Amino acid sequence: MYVIDAIGKDEPYAFPYLPPYLGPIRPPVAPDANGHFAYLTPGSRDFLAVHMYGSVRRVLDIFESYLGRKIEWPFRHDYPRLEIIPLIDWDNAQSGYGYIEFGRPSSAEDITHSYGLNFDVIAHEIGHTILFSLVGFPTTSQLPLMFRAFHEACADVTALIGLLHFDSVLDRLLRACRGNIYTLNELNRLAEVSDTKQIRIASNNARMWEVGSEPHDVSRPLTGACFDIIAYLYASELQQRGLIPRDLWELAYETNEMGEAAHHVSEAFASHYANRHFAFKAALVEARDIFGRCLVSSWQAMSPDQMSFESFGSALIDACRIISGDRHVGEFGAIFRWRGIDISSATPAFR
Ligand SMILES: [Zn+2]
């Protein structure tokens, strides 16, 4: 992949306008004498270009590690490399065939508010590319609604998993919520300004019968289910490691709402979390990685032409069964059912 810092690109790519970018560009950013880029000043245009490259590489590293192999570009037959454009004159960000490109909010005064400085947005966009690589493209000329909704949810979850790989985020997150990640916090403010400017929350209460017909909206119950599964796996790890009692473990993932009960659970969590930050953090890392591995396995197993939330849920359970046996199967099913996604009705959608 390569960064092209285009000058004055005021049109986003849209078929048939595609890479490579042939207009004027700024010169490539050079490393210092030791080969590092850390000398660049945050807020500078050069920093933005390097940040984009580093963030994309980071997300790829994480998912290649779950996969155990290199992620091939889904567009490799037409483009050998991904073109990354850090800043165009556009209030949006997008990934497409052979490229990702980022703008900034029209209200932003300077480049410090560029989408290319927002890790969540970058991880979401490269998440789409990873998904097209592992799931593939449907054979229909238009992408079906459920395929698009699945993509949006999984791109959000890619950003969530990416975020959870920052040590500083894990520390701040657990300290802020005192061990109980169901408390609304940093983790949930996923892609605060997204490609459709919708504010999406991973820890949402959306169910299938409540959403409309716009793909980002339809994606919400699935994003929420994935968040619930990470939270459940975390509570389950804590219980298994003797860090919280079983009754609290059961309450923790059943109390997916605010109010008195949630407050009680939070206080109980906090008392167990006190002085055990690193033990709790290890449990969260384990939950994140179990889920990450299940995620890439299920993506690889799915057929892009028979995409449904049900078939994704059932592929996720199959993947989890290989990693952890049957012990999480019932809970995964219950989490999806609560969202209105009935896995028992899933038709086999495997390649
Ligand atoms: Zn998206």
Separation of CA 70 and ligand 1 centre (Å)? 23
Judge contact between 137 and 204, C-beta under 8 A: no
So what's the pLDDT on residue 56?
Answer: 98
Specify which residues 102 forms β-bridges with. Answer: 93
Among 195-209, 210-224, 226-240, 256-270, the least confident range: 195-209
For ligand 1, an ion, list residues with CB under 5 A.
152, 155, 195
209 C-alpha vs ligand 1 centroid, how far in Å?
22
Ligand 1 centre distance from Cα of residue 118 (Å): 14
Pick from 114, 266, 290, 143: nearest CA to 215: 143
In three-state form (DSSP H/G/I as H, E/B as E, the rest C), the secondary structure along 142-185 is CCCHHHHHHHHHHHHHHHHHHHCCCHHHHHHHHHHHCCCCCCCC
Reported as a single tens digit per residue, the pLDDT across 191-205 is 443 333 333 457 778
CA of 94 to the centre of ligand 1 (A): 7
Which residue's entry shows tokens 């299940």? 294
Amino acid (one-letter) located at 212: G
User: What residue ranges do the domains of the chain occupy?
Assistant: 2-134, 168-345
For residue 137, the CA-to-ligand 1 centroid distance in Å is 15
Cα(271)–Cα(249) distance, integer angstroms: 14
- Give me ligand 1 centre to Cα 215, in Å: 9
| 79 alpha carbon – ligand 1 mean position (Å) | 21
Between the CA of 125 and the centroid of ligand 1 the distance, in Å, is 6
Question: Alpha-carbon torsion 184, 316, 146, 345, what sign?
Answer: negative
Tokens describing residue 52: 């984009």
Distance separating alpha carbons of residues 325 and 348, to the nearest angstrom = 20
Q: What percent of the chain has pLDDT over 90?
A: 70
Query: Span 295-311, mean pLDDT?
Result: 95
For residue 147, how far is its CA from the centre of ligand 1 (angstroms)?
12
Distance 149 CA to ligand 1 centre (A): 9
CATH architecture of the domain with range 2-134? Roll (3.10)
pTM above 0.85, yes or no: yes
| Distance in Å, CA 112 to ligand 1 centroid | 22
Give 253's pLDDT tier (boundaries 50, 70, 90): low
